[in-house]
Amino acid sequence: MKKSKKFRFLSSVMMAVMLLTLMASPFAIAAEEEPTVLRVAVENEPNTLDNQVVTNDCASTIGQHIFETLYTYDEDYNAVPLLAESDETLEDGKVVKITLRQGVTFHNGKEMTAEDVYASLTRWLEYGSRSSQMREYIDSIEVEDAYTITLNFKQPYSPWKNLFAFINGGPAIYPKEVAEAATQEPISEDQYIGTGPYCFVEHEQARYFKLEKYEDYAARDEEAEGLSGDRTGQMDEIDFIPVANASTRINGLLAGDYDYVRIATSDMYEDLSANKDVVVSINKGTKMPLMFFNSKAGIFKDNYKLRQAVLTALDMEEIMSIAVGPEELWDLNGSINPEWNMFYSEEGIDTWNQADPEKAQQMAEEAGYQGEPIVILINNTQQLHVDICTVIAQQLESAGFNVDAQRLDAAAQQAKRADETQWDIHFTHHIFSPEPIIYNWMNAGYAGWWDTEEKRDLVSKYVAETDPEKQAKIWSDIQALTYEQIPVIKTGDCYEFDVYSVRLTGLDERVPLWPCFWRVTLA
């Protein structure tokens, strides 16, 4: 009998726990003067916010509230000063003198000076994700005085300002002590000290990144616009909460657990647009899905005709309408940069979107294709890539190509594509960049390894050109060459979209490259 008593006791304890759990009051005790908190659900959890070395978009979304760059972008993606005050180009563009703003302080209270900028730029040039090209052109950086820094180039190099404005993989400014100690490895969380409108408080793994308003933020005088101008924070606290599953993010928004949700999936677009409680906001920066061809080995090496055959087979309208869905979320644009941008060009795009499998088959035969398997490496953690490649595989097969689509996770795809004998096409995407020269296929070290003489010539002409209009002209020549040698095929432009509660005000109509929340208030 003793045991069944014990059992009864145990079961009543269990019942009590359950009941308590169910009854637990959802009301928090209201403190006086509750700080205002904005809860942003983000699509993944970056393993570092060190923007100099990381190219994860989410790291930039969070990071740009903490760290700032010398320049940033206005609404039309022109590079405008942020930490810089002004700049001066000397000796036909070989020397650039940048004057810094005075009175800007880091979150540790120290004032930002040219020493900090020097250390940050040095670290970035050596280890930064997007600095490899500039590294070849720069000769030296000099600190002139506390607020002036000079860049000496070996030959004129015009993309510098755009690179200094692009925080993703770009030169975020850290305190001298942090930058000097930093290597190739990302800086640790206790070193997240920037000049931005929010300070880093803590990161709880798989829970949140907590940011607090920086009271001594030194704001610019200009009106806020896009990412530029006055960045003074409004909310006391911003929590960035990683929620990997898109349905869960949206459910959380609808249930009031989050105020702003990054990147819903395109199939939710219509429902959410019709929902009166939330606002749907389409990203202005485009996302280009890209097929990279292997220029180093395999059947596409030097065989431009065969690559053109692949391009001829593709029906971009079908690809985009199936993989993306709602028409508001994609554009049939063969130009590398979008129409509103100064680098838009129609050079070479007439071969884009022909959707002609018969002609493609004939071209492939002429190019010597004999049914060899074409290995496409696909990152299966990116749903868009999987969807697009499913359609592409179908289209290529109906044009007589023998497709071997291999789905791998991100790291495996990257490991495999480093070996040129393992693949023919790898699939990825780029987000729009106001400086097209930093797109990965322009980098001969990036998997694909496009490195022809014609390309090198045009690139060196491009970077030396300081007149924007002439530079755009050279870019359109580069685009024409891209359509001739086809290092890469883009399938169009698509747009991600964010969703937020109607209670939020202060957001732009279209989301900038990375959404910013310093102007946001919650009603």
Partner 1 sequence: MFNLLRKRKVAIVASVFLIAVLICGIFAPLISTFDPNETHGKDRLSTINSTYWLGTDNYGRDIFSRIIYGTRMSLVGSLGIVVFAVVLGVLLGVVAGYLRSAQMVIMRLADVLMAFPPLLLAMMLMAIMGSGVFNVVIAIGAYYMTRMIRIIYSLTLKIKEETYIEAMHAQGASTLRIILRHIVPNLVSPIIVQATFTFSSALLQMAALDFLGLGIPPQYPTWGNMLSEGSRFMTRAPWMVVIPGLVIVLTVLSINIMGDLLRDNIDPKFRDIVKGT
Partner 2 sequence: MLRYIIKRVLSMIPSLILTSIMVFLMVHLIPGDPAITMLGDSATEESIEQMREEMGLNQPLVNQYFIWMGKVVHGDLGDSIFQNKSVMATIADRAETSVLLGVMAMILIVLISLPIGIIAAVKVNTWLDQGISSLAMFLASVPAFWLGLNLMLLFSVKLGWLPTSGFPSVFRSGDWSNLRYLILPSISIALPNTALIIRMTRSSMLDVIKEDYVRTARSKGLTENAVYIKHVFRNSLIAVVSSLGFVFASLISGTVVTESVFSLPGVGQLLVSSIMLRDYPVIQGVILIIALVFMIINLLVDISYAKIDPRIRYTSAK
Q: Is residue 322 at the binding interface for partner 1, with CB under 8 A as the rule?
A: yes
Residue 31 interacts, among partner 1, partner 2, none and using kind-specific CB cut-offs from 5 to 8 Å, with none
Of 339-347, 402-410, 457-465, 474-482, which segment contacts partner 2 by CB under 8 A? Answer: 402-410
Beta bridge partners of 292: 426, 488
Looking at 95, 349, 408, 459, which residue binds partner 2 (CB under 8 A)?
Answer: 408
- DSSP string spanning 449-472? ----HHHHHHHHHHHH--SHHHHH
> What gap in Å lies between CA 513 and CA 77, rounded to an integer?
9
Which sign does the torsion angle of CA 404, 410, 416, 418 carry? positive
Residue 81 interacts, among partner 2, partner 1, none and using kind-specific CB cut-offs from 5 to 8 Å, with none
Based on CB atoms, which residue is closest to partner 2, 24 or 31? Answer: 24
Angle, vertex CA 432, rays to CA 84 and CA 175, nearest 5: 30
Based on CB atoms, which residue is closest to partner 2, 251 or 354? Answer: 251
Q: How many CB atoms lie within 10 A of CB 27?
A: 5
Burial 64-93 (b: 16+ CB within 10 A, else e): bbbbbbbbbbbeebbbbbbbbeebebeeeb
Judged by CB under 8 A, how many residues of this single chain contact partner 2? 64
Residue 391 interacts, among partner 1, partner 2, none and using kind-specific CB cut-offs from 5 to 8 Å, with partner 1
Q: Give, for 126, the enclosing helix (H) or strand (E).
A: helix 114-127
Residue 173 interacts, among partner 1, partner 2, none and using kind-specific CB cut-offs from 5 to 8 Å, with none
Q: Is residue 390 at the binding interface for partner 2, with CB under 8 A as the rule?
A: no
Angle, vertex CA 175, rays to CA 172 and CA 176, nearest 5: 110
Residue 48 interacts, among partner 2, partner 1, none and using kind-specific CB cut-offs from 5 to 8 Å, with partner 2
Q: How far is the CB of 411 from partner 2 (least distance, A)?
A: 3
Based on CB atoms, which residue is closest to partner 2, 99 or 132? Answer: 132
Q: Is residue 383 at the binding interface for partner 1, with CB under 8 A as the rule?
A: yes
- DSSP string spanning 138-196? EEEEEEEETTEEEEEESS--TTHHHHHH--TTS-----HHHHHH--SSPPPGGG---SS
Looking at 321, 362, 414, 452, which residue binds partner 1 (CB under 8 A)?
Answer: 321
Binding mask 441-460 for partner 2 (x = CB under 8 A): --x-xx--------------
> What gap in Å lies between CA 86 and CA 206, rounded to an integer?
41
Based on CB atoms, which residue is closest to partner 2, 308 or 413? Answer: 413
State which of positions 208-267 bind partner 2 (CB under 8 A): 241-245, 247-248, 251-252, 254-257
Q: Among candidates 520, 494, 45, which has minimal Cα distance to 240?
A: 45
Helix axis angle, 468-485 relative to 453-464, nearest 10°? Answer: 170
> What gap in Å lies between CA 211 and CA 30, rounded to an integer?
21
Both tokens assigned to 113: 């000076």
Based on CB atoms, which residue is closest to partner 2, 362 or 422? Answer: 422
Q: Among candidates 315, 230, 189, 325, which has minimal Cα distance to 268?
A: 325
> What gap in Å lies between CA 281 and CA 509, rounded to an integer?
6
Q: Give, for 292, the enclosing helix (H) or strand (E).
A: strand 287-293
CA 252 to chain centre: 24
Q: Is residue 376 at the binding interface for partner 1, with CB under 8 A as the rule?
A: no
Q: Is residue 411 at the binding interface for partner 2, with CB under 8 A as the rule?
A: yes
Q: Is residue 339 at the binding interface for partner 2, with CB under 8 A as the rule?
A: no
> What gap in Å lies between CA 320 and CA 288, rounded to an integer?
11
> What gap in Å lies between CA 9 and CA 23, rounded to an integer?
21
Looking at 380, 414, 452, 521, which residue binds partner 1 (CB under 8 A)?
Answer: 380
Contact 81, 70 (CB under 8 A): yes
Residue 407 interacts, among partner 2, partner 1, none and using kind-specific CB cut-offs from 5 to 8 Å, with partner 1
Looking at 143, 224, 355, 412, which residue binds partner 1 (CB under 8 A)?
Answer: 412
Q: How far is the CB of 72 from partner 2 (least distance, A)?
A: 20
CA dihedral angle for residue 471, residue 476, residue 479, residue 480, rounded to 10 degrees = -130
State which of positions 149-208 bind partner 2 (CB under 8 A): 169, 184-186, 188-190, 204-207
- DSSP string spanning 299-344? TTTT-HHHHHHHHHH--HHHHHHHHT-SGGGEE---SSS-TTSTT-
Of 51-59, 98-106, 356-364, 467-475, which segment contacts partner 2 by CB under 8 A? Answer: 51-59
**Which residues are CB-neighbours of 222 under 8 A, at least 6 positions away?**
228, 229, 230
> What gap in Å lies between CA 365 and CA 323, rounded to an integer?
29
Of 94-102, 113-121, 301-309, 400-408, which segment contacts partner 1 by CB under 8 A? Answer: 400-408
Binding mask 116-155 for partner 2 (x = CB under 8 A): -----------x-xx-x-----------------------
Looking at 143, 355, 408, 444, which residue binds partner 1 (CB under 8 A)?
Answer: 408
Looking at 9, 12, 17, 222, which residue binds partner 2 (CB under 8 A)?
Answer: 17
Residue 265 interacts, among partner 2, partner 1, none and using kind-specific CB cut-offs from 5 to 8 Å, with partner 1
Judged by CB under 8 A, how many residues of this single chain contact partner 1? 27
Q: Which residues bind partner 2 (CB under 8 A)?
A: 3-4, 11, 14-15, 17-18, 20-22, 24-26, 45, 47-48, 53-56, 127, 129-130, 132, 169, 184-186, 188-190, 204-207, 241-245, 247-248, 251-252, 254-257, 381, 408-416, 418, 428, 440, 443, 445-446
Name the site residues for partner 1 (rule: CB under 8 A).
246-247, 265, 267-268, 270-271, 317-318, 321-322, 325, 380-381, 383, 386-387, 390-391, 393-394, 405-409, 412
